[in-house]
Chains A and B, each alone.
Chain A
Amino acid sequence: GAVVSQHPSRVICKSGTSVKIECRSLDFQATTMFWYRQFPKQSLMLMATSNEGSKATYEQGVEKDKFLINHASLTLSTLTVTSAHPEDSSFYICSAKSGEGGYTFGSGTRLTVV
């Protein structure tokens, strides 16, 4: 089945620094990828839709200048959390769709900002 690889799985950074999270589709091309955020005991919340070769589409309330998304190729999308603060600590997950079928998720990145 379709595989989405996400790195890193865990990152701890200092407040004010930036963190980049990578999401790769390993055996298919993904013109569209999705970035979610999940807080403990809460469901997945869509942050933005990443489109290859064009600007990402952000959900209402998500700061596009803080969460920079780049989808430079058909297999790679990146999410950069800029000037991270403790309230940005969360579980970030990417997702992509391989043709017909459900959406496949990456393994997630646990970000802790100290």
Chain B
Amino acid sequence: QKEVEQDPGPLSVPEGAIVSLNCTYSNSAFQYFMWYRQYSRKGPELLMYTYSSGNKEDGRFTAQVDKSSKYISLFIRDSQPSDSATYLCAAYSGGYQKVTFGIGTKLQVIP
């Protein structure tokens, strides 16, 4: 079992839709959770960074962490074609510990 599981998709949605991206993890030591957006042939761009359980909102993006169920979510409101990319969830236990990534979900927002 991978430490961080993520459905690779692809996920296609119409412009303006609410997108829900999810990951599960198995390592109870994970305390910090991140979502990255990666365009083709580019490095990952940090979108959201959260500590422990709870919600965090930044513009059209909302990250949720439920440590009791080991579930990580990213919601994108009013999705735009420019949101089309691969979204990677990631987690680590703290400090400079190794970051574990999901495989990434490819999202396509259709105009």
The chain A residues found within 8 Å of chain B, CB to CB, are: 1, 6, 32, 34, 41-44, 46, 49, 91, 93, 95, 97, 101-108, 110
A109 (CB) vs chain B CBs: closest residue: B43
Contact check, A91 vs B46: say whether CB atoms are below 8 A apart: no
Contact check, B104 vs A46: say whether CB atoms are below 8 A apart: no
Chain B residues with a Cβ closer than 8 Å to the other chain, count: 20
| Most chain B C-beta atoms within 10 Å of own C-beta, residue among A1, A42, A102 | A102
Please, what's the 1-or-0 string for B81-111, where 1 marks a CB less than 8 Å from any CB in chain A?
Answer: 0000000101000001011011110000000
Q: Kindly provide the distance from the CB of A52 to the nearest chain B CB, expressed in whole angstroms.
A: 12
Bound: A62/B43 CA distance, A: 21
Bound: A85/B36 CA distance, A: 30
7 nearest A-B residue pairs (beta carbon): A102-B49, A105-B43, A108-B43, A43-B103, A102-B34, A107-B43, A43-B101
Q: Which residues of B contact A110 (CB under 8 A)?
A: 41
Bound: A66/B34 CA distance, A: 31
Contact check, A46 vs B98: say whether CB atoms are below 8 A apart: yes
Bound: A3/B89 CA distance, A: 20
Known: A1-B46, A95-B99, A97-B96. 11 other contacts (CB 8 A): A32-B96, A43-B101, A43-B103, A46-B98, A46-B99, A49-B98, A101-B49, A102-B34, A105-B45, A108-B43, A110-B41
Q: Kindly provide the distance from the CB of A103 to the nearest chain B CB, expressed in whole angstroms.
A: 6
Contact check, B43 vs A93: say whether CB atoms are below 8 A apart: yes
Please, what's the 1-or-0 string for B36-50, where 1 marks a CB less than 8 Å from any CB in chain A?
Answer: 100001111110010
Contact check, B88 vs A105: say whether CB atoms are below 8 A apart: no
Q: Kindly provide the distance from the CB of A112 to the nearest chain B CB, expressed in whole angstroms.
A: 12
Residue B14 interfacial (CB < 8 Å): no
Bound: A105/B46 CA distance, A: 8
Contact check, B101 vs A44: say whether CB atoms are below 8 A apart: yes
A105 (CB) vs chain B CBs: closest residue: B43
